[in-house]
Amino acid sequence: MTSKRINVMTKRQITDWHSHVWLPEHVGGWGQELDAKYSHDPSRGGSPEAHAEAMEEAGIDRFLIVGLVSRHLNFAVPNDFIADYAKRSQGRGVGLAGIDPNDPGAVAEVRRCAEELGLRGVKLAPPYQNFHPHSPEAFKVYDEIAKQGMFIMFHQGAVTHRMGVLEVANPILLDRVAREYPETQIIVAHMGQPWSAEVIPLMRKHPNLIADLSARCTRRNQLRSMLKLAIDYGLEDKLVWGSDFPTFVPKDHAAGLLAAADGDEVATGETRIPLSTLEDILYDRPLSLIGLPA
């Protein structure tokens, strides 16, 4: 059978570090608006079936399935739903629990997701969930995450929902979290856009912090700026690729990353983005980077 893999000429593995699954009833009006405006197939949205087909089409070997929950915006993808899909993926999928620190049962839910559901990480989103990363409620959640040996993905950046809370969204607020939990692996989603420059000092000083480029690969100028910032500081090894499915088609989003490469010549003094660097980001970022089996 002919392979559909993007990397058919190599034997390098593709990991999608940021993807979602949901059903319309999980995400309410806003999520349905996302499906209608952004999903490549609005009729199927973020369904598990659509996700599985998209991963197969792109030749993706492993993928993170990112939970999504917000009391503030009234949507919740059930963690049991995430766990069930991860289990049915035959070892390819790694599930992240959606946890809202404003929920009085948040700590207990972290424990349940780790001990009963087998989820390996937690997704937190201060601007969507309306909590400050330094709040007492947040630190109780971090404590349990650390106790369970889980990793954290932060959506710490801009949001599209008009009720999103940008005053708690700047990535620099994660410096204290990374300092106080040096053994907890942290992924900054979307490289913190539009505050990507603030993510650079975080990656420089914290060995436990990396950033994903999900949802950035169709915005060529923004993507190239992010890449140049990382390359200037020798931090390209701390960048990982993600599709942000269903907002983007994984195959197309991966192609968009590779298309950001420079040719052999760039203007004097300009930072060059080599194709080999982008291929490494796409093909050479195993989950062992955050302490999971490769």
- Each residue of 179-227: pLDDT tens digit? 999 999 999 999 999 999 999 999 999 999 999 999 999 999 999 999 9
Write the pLDDT tens digit of every residue in 132-158: 999 999 999 999 999 999 999 999 999
Task: For residue 9, tell me if it sits in a domain.
Answer: no
Give the tokens for residue 127. Answer: 């601007």
Banded pLDDT at 5 (limits 50, 70, 90): very low
Assign residue 83 the CATH number of its domain: 3.20.20.140
Neighbours of 154 (CB within 10 A): 24
25 three-state secondary structure: helix
What pLDDT, on a 0 to 100 scale, did the predictor assign at position 268? 74
CA angle 291–80–55, rounded 5-degree value: 60
In a domain, 3, yes or no: no
Q: Is residue 4 part of a domain?
A: no
Which of these, 217, 214, 212, 249, lies nearest to 50 by C-alpha position? 249
- In-domain check, residue 229: yes
Average pLDDT over residues 28-46: 63
Give the number of domains in the chain.
Answer: 1
* Phi and psi at residue 83, to the nearest 5°: -65, -40
Instruction: List the domain range (segments joined by +) for residue 122.
Output: 15-290
236-292 tens-digit pLDDT: 999 999 999 999 999 999 999 999 999 877 777 789 999 999 999 999 999 999 999
In a domain, 2, yes or no: no
5 located within any domain: no
User: Token pair of 226, please?
Assistant: 């992010």
Residue 110: partners with Cβ closer than 8 Å, 6 or more residues away = 97, 99, 122, 141, 144, 145, 148, 150
163 assigned to some structural domain? yes
- In a domain? residue 259: yes
